[in-house]
Amino acid sequence: MVRIDDVQKLGKDNMDATLRSFGAFSKSLQAITVEIADYSKKVFEQSTAATEKLLGAKSFDKAVEVQSDYAKSAYETFVAEATKLGELYAALAKEAYKPFETHFGKAPLVK
């Protein structure tokens, strides 16, 4: 038999877990936002530097070299950033779920 006290406690526990989850979600989302802003700044700086080098190229071969170097650098930066963001999103999911992980193990069963 389920008592009213048990139902009230379950409701309070659910609310507490939800609030902790939102807190973790918010903190992780801020970290992701900062990371994306830093990446955007880095990409802008790289492309600006590459454009300046490209405009200063004295020969077609030098222009191709500058473009190739930029493409390689841009790809490596993208792969590193994608990996980092993947880790941040995985941490977000883990942290947002954590308050519920132990909570669901304690929920009383209704018979």
Flag whether 111 is in a domain. Answer: no
Please report the pLDDT score of residue 105 as a whole number: 60
Q: How many independent structural domains does the chain possess?
A: 1
The predicted pLDDT at position 108 comes to 53
Asked whether residue 21 is assigned to any structural domain, the reply reads yes
Report pLDDT digits (tens) over 52-74.
999 999 999 999 999 999 999 99
Q: Does residue 107 sit within a domain? A: no
Does the pLDDT at position 2 exceed 90? Answer: no
**pLDDT of residue 34 exceeding 90:** yes
C-alpha span between 40 and 35 (Å, rounded): 9
> Residue 8 and residue 109: Cα distance in Å, rounded?
14
In a domain, 84, yes or no: yes
Q: Which domain holds residue 42?
A: 4-102
Residue 108 placed within a domain: no
Residue 87 is predicted with a pLDDT of 94
Over the stretch 76-88, which tens digit does the pLDDT of each residue have? 999 999 999 999 9
**8 band by pLDDT with thresholds 50, 70 and 90:** confident
Q: Answer yes or no: is 109 within a domain.
A: no
Helix axes 60-106, 4-56, angle to 10 degrees: 170
